[in-house]
A and B are shown apart, each in its own frame.
Chain A
Amino acid sequence: MRLPRFVLPLLALAGLLLFGQGAYIHAKALVAQVLLEHAFEKAIATGRETKPWSWADTWPVARIEVKRIHASAIVLAGSSGQALAFGPGHVERTPNAGERGVAVYSAHRDTHFAFLKNIVVGDEIEVTRSDGKHFRYRVDAASVVHFDASGIDPFADGHHLVLSTCWPFDALTQGPERYLVHATMIVSVPDLH
């Protein structure tokens, strides 16, 4: 039995396209973070909202770092699907990091927040806001919740940070469950005076 001549190239092309699309998602996530890093540096230097590229409809609002596992990412305003392709998003209707309540950052489990699986209770998360203010949080819990029953009250007492991503980490398809890393602010010394 011989296959028609066109089947092979077609199959290879389809495979190439699919692989390319997948790779594109990762490439986009990587390249965008580089551009965002620049924009963020500029924002801190100038003190103004800076767009990473001229046609972007979002802008960097903070940088999060976990020094122990050498992870860092630039967080964008808003958590629309478009914004999440480029970086973690600051979920709408939650306060900014450093403010009273629960700030929620969300990102894809296979790109920017892949490092969440390595975070353990006690880790320190550092957040630098685009206005240059710096806050430190300590991880005190991790949980798995349903996306519409997160149990997060954005106006709860105290200063909290929640990082959210899809759960389970190694699943291939979308699911309703979310993995949350919960952290509470460590009061910095100048604040006590």
Chain B
Amino acid sequence: MTTCDEIEADKRSEQPGLIRLVLFFVMQGVAVILVGFAALFLSFEPVWSAERLSANYLKPGDARSGSLLIKNEEGYADASRLGIDVDLTVSGPTVRARVTQIFRNPTQDWVEAVYVYPFPSGGAVDTLKMVIGDRVVVGDIKERQQAKIIYEQAKQNGQKAALTEQERPNIFTNSVANIGPGETVLVQIEYQEPVQQSGNEFSLRVPMVVAPRYNPAPVVQSVEFRPDGGGWGAVKSDPVPDRDRISPEVLDPASNAPVNPTRITVRLQAGFPLGEVKSLHHAIKTEKPDANTSILRLAEGPVPADRDFELTWKPAAEKTPSVGLFRERVGDSDYLLAFVTPPAVEQAQQKPLPREVIFVIDNSGSMGGVSIIQAKASLIYALGRLQPNDRFNVIRFDHTMEVLFPSAVPADREHIGRATSYVGALQASGGTEMVPAMRAALSDNAGDANYIRQVVFLTDGAIGNEQQLFETISALRGRSRIFMVGIGSAPNTYLMTRAAELGRGTFTHIGSVEQVEERMRGLFAKLENPAVTNLTAKFSDAAADITPVAIPDVYRDEPLVLAAKLDKLAGSVEIKGRIGDRPWVVTLPLANAAEGKGLSKLWARRKIADAEVARTTRQANPEDADKTILALALEHQLVTRLTSLVAVDKTPSRPQGEPLKVSELPINLPAGWDFEKVFGERPRVPAAPAERRAGADEAQVQVAALKRAQPVTTQAPNTVTLPRTATDAELKMIAGVILLTVSLILLVLNRRQRRQMSRR
């Protein structure tokens, strides 16, 4: 009987249940509409005011308002156009690069072209050639001031002249004076660079564009009194004294077709049978003229210079060569370049110490676009790799800074979860004040010796006050080690490598979202495995001048790179160190060294870098360091902070009385950057890009004509990228309805249960 009763009871309760259900849906509908409309009017504001950046990005226009920029209402459309041809030859451990820049003057005036150009930070620039018609003028290395004077003199006299100056070890400026109306001048620069190696992968990268730098406004000022001054002095110490020299005009990609078409050719002679060869950011095609050589070209013809070219290659054999030894004889001396990859030794006795990892993430405006996505993905990956007995903290910075936890916390589930959602919510905007963030990351309050302290710093390094950062690192590094993670299509590699060197860590570059996992895994192998420490090198017979003087620690899968100048090529070199708790030694007989090219220049470049580091860390006084640098630069014909290359054509070409105009060549915004995030709002009405395109095509044609090579057949693809046009409205509404339905069912079930219970 009870059963029957129950059914009846159910039927009775169904009627009001149905009404309740209908009411529920009506109420829901009303609520949704209310919520929708309230949200509509409340949240217009934040949607629209998407951070207008009030940053201190300077453009040359601001900085040099007095100079003669060829500028009309269409922007730089009529300024000198430029094409770039990059020819690389890889022979064993070194890369010889020949960069040909084509300056063309389509105007009716005589112009001076000024172009800011990126170079690899380890590159040794040693040759400048200027080609005018059939004549070739070869440049000489001179002290910077002197070179400038020679150039200015030639400019005044109406002679054609070219000047290559170093602004940063990875930023150079080319100036070409007296390009006549309709005339074309070709400037060729050559540099030497060591091949990079990591694990079994060899790589080279050609930076193509100087990313816009954040140049902090001068805050701290110091006063310099003139010796004779009677108390009057000048206020100085702008953190970026040369800001106008490294801030060329950047074109908004939305309203300008890309400029500076670039062609790249790589002749790859690795010295071993090649396995996989990959270009990471450009499509390439490969030819094999003989067994030892591969020639690689861009598959789609010239590309706009808006992202770095990166090439990696691996040996075909299973086993990677772990030792490379190369020699070159220049003058009376022998130069030696050695690559040694220490073996991965498993630690027998003790477990590795737990780590205290401080993650620093740059969420400034320059990281907008895909960079911030890469940075966030990398950091979230890194958080997931921490062990439970590790400790960590997260710092984010733009022109402001925030430390997530008051001090480092254990890497347990809860803390990792909090950090992950914190990182996931970060947005890119604002300026880049890197120094306070680095200082916070290095403040090692706990000082607990049971933890290894590591700082992982994720940034694109787009700042102009590198020196301040280096000084901070060398003053405060203590026992912390700094691992730089470079993000984006054109990171500041000079900042990254030097900061990692000063911080005794490594530099990892992540150029695309796909690389995040692979590269971060590599980084963690370095973080988790003991480094090879206490490294020394000793030559048995020869007297050697070794660089780096103090060999830095080497992390898992990295080679130890050593350059030396020897009085004679005899005996052997013994390299000693400790891998974790075990001693390691390797002896290389010098007689087996293979012939290499340009090793003397690499040695000199490395010595110069050492001197610059010593200057930064105040191990040497500035005058001595400068003297060393100057001597090395003049002997080996290298462009440095103190020396420039200058070429002057003997015959004057600009007639007396004709004025000369300066044309600063605009550059592209690096790929993946968000123009508005960096420079603020773009001008209202984008200019019609039709004329711009014609200009770019002309320059491409010019490249082909001047190179006397096959004509450029493929044009830079000119297609429209379509915006994202799907909303998640439906997804959200469906999810909402599902949740509501579930709650409704639960409600009904609950009621029934309660009624049953009350009946009992």
Do A and B come together as binding partners? yes
A residues sitting closer than 8 Å to B (CB atoms) are: 2-3, 7-8, 11-12, 14-28, 31, 53, 55-57, 79-82, 84-85, 89, 91-95, 102, 104, 106-111, 113, 145, 147-155, 164-166, 171-175, 178
Q: Is A109 within 8 A of B725, CB to CB?
A: yes
Q: Note all chain B residues with C-beta closer than 8 A to A16.
A: 28, 31-32, 35, 736, 740
Q: Is B720 within 8 A of A18, CB to CB?
A: no
Q: Note all chain B residues with C-beta closer than 8 A to A166.
A: 724-726
Find B718's partner among A21, A89, A95, A154 (CB 8 Å cutoff).
A154
CB distance from B75 to the nearest CB of A (A): 14
Which of chain B's residues 652-695 have a Cβ closer than 8 Å to chain A? 686, 688-690, 693
Bound state CA distance, A151 and B719, in angstroms?
6
Which of chain B's residues 725-739 have a Cβ closer than 8 Å to chain A? 725-739
Find B44's partner among A18, A23, A53, A152 (CB 8 Å cutoff).
A53
Given A81-B724, A82-B47, A82-B48, residue A19 in contact with residue B719 (CB < 8 A):
no
B45 at the interface (CB under 8 A from A): yes
Bound state CA distance, A188 and B28, in angstroms?
51
Q: Is B730 within 8 A of A18, CB to CB?
A: no
Bound state CA distance, A25 and B739, in angstroms?
19
Q: Is B720 within 8 A of A84, CB to CB?
A: no
Q: Is A106 within 8 A of B740, CB to CB?
A: no
Q: Is B726 within 8 A of A153, CB to CB?
A: no
Across the A-B interface, give the 4 residue pairs with the lowest CB-CB distance, nearest first: A19-B736, A15-B739, A22-B733, A18-B736
Q: Note all chain A residues with C-beta closer than 8 A to B742.
A: 11, 15
Q: Considering residues A16, A82, A164, A165, which has the most beta carbons from chain B within 10 angstroms of its beta carbon?
A: A16
Q: Is B40 within 8 A of A28, CB to CB?
A: yes
Q: Is B726 within 8 A of A110, CB to CB?
A: yes
Bound state CA distance, A31 and B691, in angstroms?
39
Which of chain B's residues 13-62 have a Cβ closer than 8 Å to chain A? 28, 31-33, 35-37, 39-40, 44-45, 47-50
Q: Note all chain A residues with C-beta closer than 8 A to B728.
A: 22, 25, 172-174
Which of chain B's residues 129-174 have a Cβ closer than 8 Å to chain A? none
Which of chain B's residues 701-733 have a Cβ closer than 8 Å to chain A? 718-733
Find B690's partner among A15, A109, A155 (CB 8 Å cutoff).
A155
Q: Is B686 within 8 A of A172, CB to CB?
A: no
B750 at the interface (CB under 8 A from A): yes
B592 at the interface (CB under 8 A from A): no
Bound state CA distance, A147 and B438, in angstroms?
40
Q: Is B729 within 8 A of A104, CB to CB?
A: no
How extensive is the interface on chain B, given as a class?
Answer: 35 or more
Q: Is B722 within 8 A of A178, CB to CB?
A: yes
Find A155's partner among B35, B45, B693, B730 (CB 8 Å cutoff).
B693
CB distance from A62 to the nearest CB of B (A): 15
Q: Name which residue of chain A comes closest to B37, CB basis.
A: A27
Q: Is A150 within 8 A of B720, CB to CB?
A: yes
B333 at the interface (CB under 8 A from A): no
Q: Note all chain B residues with C-beta closer than 8 A to A93.
A: 254-255, 686, 689, 720
Q: How many A-B residue pairs have CB under 8 A?
A: 183
Given A24-B40, A55-B44, A110-B727, residue A149 in contact with residue B719 (CB < 8 A):
yes
Q: Name which residue of chain A comes closest to B693, CB basis.
A: A155
Q: Is B28 within 8 A of A110, CB to CB?
A: no
Interface majority SS (helix, strand, loop, mixed), chain B? helix
Q: Name which residue of chain B comes closest to A57, CB basis.
A: B48
Bound state CA distance, A94 and B39, in angstroms?
33
Bound state CA distance, A72 and B686, in angstroms?
26
Q: Is A31 within 8 A of B40, CB to CB?
A: yes
Given A15-B740, A82-B50, A110-B727, residue A172 in contact with residue B734 (CB < 8 A):
yes
* 25 residue pairs A–B, Cβ–Cβ below 8 Å: A12-B743, A15-B741, A16-B31, A16-B32, A18-B739, A19-B736, A20-B35, A22-B731, A23-B32, A27-B37, A55-B48, A56-B48, A79-B723, A80-B723, A91-B720, A94-B720, A104-B722, A108-B727, A109-B725, A148-B721, A150-B722, A155-B718, A165-B725, A172-B728, A178-B722
B753 at the interface (CB under 8 A from A): yes
Q: Is A106 within 8 A of B725, CB to CB?
A: yes
CB distance from B715 to the nearest CB of A (A): 10
Bound state CA distance, A25 and B737, in angstroms?
16
Bound state CA distance, A171 and B731, in angstroms?
9
Q: Note all chain A residues with C-beta closer than 8 A to B217.
A: none
CB distance from B43 to the nearest CB of A (A): 8
Bound state CA distance, A104 and B719, in angstroms?
11
Bound state CA distance, A18 and B731, in angstroms?
9
Bound state CA distance, A66 and B738, in angstroms?
36
CB distance from A117 to the nearest CB of B (A): 13
Bound state CA distance, A150 and B718, in angstroms?
10
Q: Is B686 within 8 A of A15, CB to CB?
A: no
B747 at the interface (CB under 8 A from A): yes
Q: Name which residue of chain B comes closest to A59, CB basis.
A: B684
B404 at the interface (CB under 8 A from A): no
Bound state CA distance, A149 and B686, in angstroms?
23
B746 at the interface (CB under 8 A from A): yes
Bound state CA distance, A172 and B725, in angstroms?
12
Besides A16-B32, A147-B721, A148-B719, 20 other A-B contacts (C-beta < 8 A)? A12-B739, A12-B740, A15-B740, A16-B28, A16-B736, A17-B736, A18-B735, A22-B733, A23-B35, A24-B39, A55-B45, A57-B48, A82-B50, A84-B725, A108-B725, A109-B725, A147-B724, A150-B721, A154-B720, A164-B723
Q: Considering residues B690, B725, B734, B753, which has the most beta carbons from chain A within 10 angstroms of its beta carbon?
A: B725
Find B739's partner among A11, A85, A148 (CB 8 Å cutoff).
A11
Q: Note all chain B residues with C-beta closer than 8 A to A174.
A: 724, 726, 728
CB distance from A168 to the nearest CB of B (A): 10
Q: Note all chain A residues with C-beta closer than 8 A to B722.
A: 91, 104, 106, 145, 147-148, 150, 164, 178
CB distance from A150 to the nearest CB of B (A): 5
Bound state CA distance, A108 and B725, in angstroms?
4
Given A31-B40, A174-B726, residue A104 in contact with residue B740 (CB < 8 A):
no
Bound state CA distance, A95 and B725, in angstroms?
20
Find A175's partner among B28, B690, B726 (CB 8 Å cutoff).
B726
Bound state CA distance, A109 and B39, in angstroms?
22
Q: Is A8 within 8 A of B725, CB to CB?
A: no
